[in-house]
Amino acid sequence: MEFSQEDFEKSIPERFEKIVRFYPDGIAVKTVDHVVSYGELNAMANRIARVLVSTRGDTPEAIALLLVKDAPLMAAILAVLKAGKFFVLLDSSFSKAQNDALLDNSRAGLVITDQENVSLARG
């Protein structure tokens, strides 16, 4: 698979979709806890993106992500981009003040999190 000059002018989700078409069963993310193919990652991202658009609309806005660094984080990043929004990465290793400052500065209207970080997201 090759990328043309035209491909480089496409969005990240569009370029990702091209990779999915060529390598749906190829490994996209491999961590201690997950091995996820491009097709699976795309399906995860599409589910999240549909929820984002149905609940938040299609206008650009910041969406904060506070997730363990694993396949679900990659899916969430892609989903936010597919939904026409932009992401702000929060980190559980940051102090509450640092994450709060990121939230305040970005004016993120939503925080997507997981079980491991739900108490930090509520805090």
* CA-based nearest residue to 63, from 42, 84, 45, 44: 84
Residue 115 to residues 13, 111, 118, Cα–Cα distance (Å): 27, 13, 5
- Structural domain boundaries, residue 34: 5-122
| CATH number of 44's domain | 3.40.50.980
pLDDT in tens, the chain (123 residues): 676 777 677 889 999 999 999 999 999 999 998 999 999 999 999 999 999 999 999 899 999 999 999 999 999 999 999 999 999 999 999 988 999 999 999 999 899 999 888 877 766
H or E segment to which residue 30 belongs: strand 27-30
The domain tally of the chain equals 1
* pTM of the complete model: 0.89
